[in-house]
Structure 1
């Protein structure tokens, strides 16, 4: 099969993935499933992997490379292990990115993304930037008959990461409150749609790219701002003191030390993007009682919920397609923000 493989980490992002022929994965355990990839989302984490930011976590001993990235996958079941009963060859599926064991205490509590024995195809083992990839039955969700893998692949990670953060924010606010979304990219544009259907809060979208601001307005954001030098004052003014919740989908480039300043007293910051370092005077935490916390990828049931919202036409992915042969162009366009929404690789 054809696959795009990473051969070296490069902080300067000058390296390119190599398109080459490699053996297709095969079923070796009773619960395994081979999926024919219909589409695979291109994620900012992929850029960080290439940069080497994940090396100490996913490749601490070295020796992983070359390997196949791609952790946002959807396609059709190609082959199944002897114990697999919920899917069969030909079924259209989306793949939760985390292969969980199902038996550790975290899994029993429903926190499968905390699984003690979890594996993450695309981060540490071969993923979906290829014609086929290997996963397990417990990671698969059958798609509604009117939904294609191409329409939803990035929701396997970007979608449920945004949904998890939006769901958390929705629990914290009331009708008329304000939620600010920083970054209207592959995750932010999903969060806006989710917030509009999960709560009655007013949604403020912030992005420096004109195209992203247009998209935010089309998706229902109540207020759209360009993130200029006066952003803090603008937010304080339009909200009457600050946002009740801020979701930061950037997490670097200086945004990480602006986002918490957008909160009102008692507000909460949900950090999703990463790469920077947050510096907050402890006096600010005490006097303003702001809360700061991270948000990881959503769990399996959250992906089920998001697929229902998608099937009902309430949350859609805005994406730009690239062939597997053009994956390096897709990575470069993504890095330089030449498209809005999500990039999708179509083998």
Structure 2
């Protein structure tokens, strides 16, 4: 099979021929990839930021946002059949630890993370397990929804955690209307009555945000903090949902937060540097978000089937993986990039 592998950090990916993955356990599922999303995490992996945390050995296949069709199943698999269209929960989980038992499978004690810690979906075929596959509804093409496996899942997960504090009359500030942010806007609109304020430096991204349900859009131009405070009568927002996490935005996000508000960290790349006395005196909260549970993904696919969440994508053939990575890094994408192996 053909696959895109990373051989050295800071180097380009190489499209090459590899042996097809084989069934190794009764609950294994081999998926023929119909689409694999590109994520800023892929750039961070390429730059070596995940090397120590993941412990992966190079070379290996990237790609953690995957959807396709069931190609082969193990002897104990009963929830899907060969040919079924599926989207893949990004983690391969054990199902036996306490976290899995209570539905918090994102914190499984014995998990694997295809595309980060083991071979992923920038390939024609990928191995996962029966616990990770969500069947797609009739008429849903895997390539059209692949990025929801992480970008959409992470956005939904963060919004679901923010929803209890976003009652009528509250404000949610979305930082970044790109690949994750444009999904987060739709999830906020579907799950909460809050007024949605979207920040982005791109007028094109802000125009898309308005189409997707943003009540207010603010261009990041040096006056954005003051504009958000004006929109919120000087009090700030109950929730700041940060899909960027770098380029100096974090102090601005904290300044836009209401006292007793919560800052949801999704994007990453820089440090949160806030004096502890400010955290205490303002009683503000910082909430980390790492993908989401299998149940989160199933719920997100329900919203997708109801057309309450749609994914804006640009597709690339597998051979153009480095062009896609460059476009993502250069900020030339609106929505999400999808690699199509065929």
Structural mapping, 1:210-229, within 5 Å: 210-229=203-222
Shift of 1:128: 0.3
| Aligned residues of 1:8 and 1:66 also touching (Cα < 8 A) | yes
Corresponding position of 2:3: 3
Shift of 1:26: 1.0
Give, in whole Å, the separation in 1 of the partners of 2:252 and 2:231.
17
Structural mapping, 1:14-53, within 5 Å: 15-53=11-49
Q: Is structure 2 residue 83 aligned with structure 1 residue 90?
A: yes
Shift of 1:233: 1.2
Length-normalised TM-score, structure 1: 0.97
Structure 2 residues not aligned, in runs of 5+: none
Shift of 1:283: 2.4
Q: 1:248 aligns with which of 235, 242, 247?
A: 242
Give, in whole Å, the separation in 1 of the partners of 2:42 and 2:333.
16
Q: Which runs of 4+ in 1 moved over 6 A?
A: none
Shift of 1:67: 0.6
Q: Is structure 2 residue 129 aligned with structure 1 residue 133?
A: no
**SS of aligned partner of 1:73:** strand
| Aligned residues of 1:173 and 1:199 also touching (Cα < 8 A) | yes
Count residues with an aligned counterpart: 340
Length-normalised TM-score, structure 2: 0.98
Structure 1 residues not aligned, in runs of 5+: none
Corresponding position of 1:325: 319
Q: Is structure 2 residue 324 aligned with structure 1 residue 335?
A: no
1:235-276 C-alpha deviation (Å, 9 max, x unpaired):
111111211110011111111222111111111111111110
Structural mapping, 1:69-108, within 5 Å: 69-108=62-101
1:138-195 C-alpha deviation (Å, 9 max, x unpaired):
0001100121101110000110100011111111111121000001111100010010
| Aligned residues of 1:146 and 1:311 also touching (Cα < 8 A) | no
Corresponding position of 2:339: 345
Greater shift in the superposed pair: 207-216 or 281-290? 281-290
Q: 1:284 aligns with which of 278, 287, 308?
A: 278
Greater shift in the superposed pair: 289-298 or 310-319? 289-298
Greater shift in the superposed pair: 254-263 or 297-306? 254-263
Corresponding position of 1:273: 267
Q: 2:182 aligns with which of 189, 192, 201?
A: 189
| Aligned residues of 1:37 and 1:132 also touching (Cα < 8 A) | yes
Give, in whole Å, the separation in 1 of the partners of 2:33 and 2:52.
28
Give, in whole Å, the separation in 2 of the partners of 1:176 and 1:221.
15
Greater shift in the superposed pair: 113-122 or 279-288? 279-288
Q: 1:295 aligns with which of 272, 279, 289?
A: 289
Corresponding position of 1:57: 53
Corresponding position of 1:67: 60
**SS of aligned partner of 2:69:** strand
Shift of 1:24: 0.8
Shift of 1:72: 0.4
Shift of 1:230: 1.7
Q: Is structure 2 residue 104 aligned with structure 1 residue 111?
A: yes
**SS of aligned partner of 1:144:** coil
Shift of 1:286: 2.1
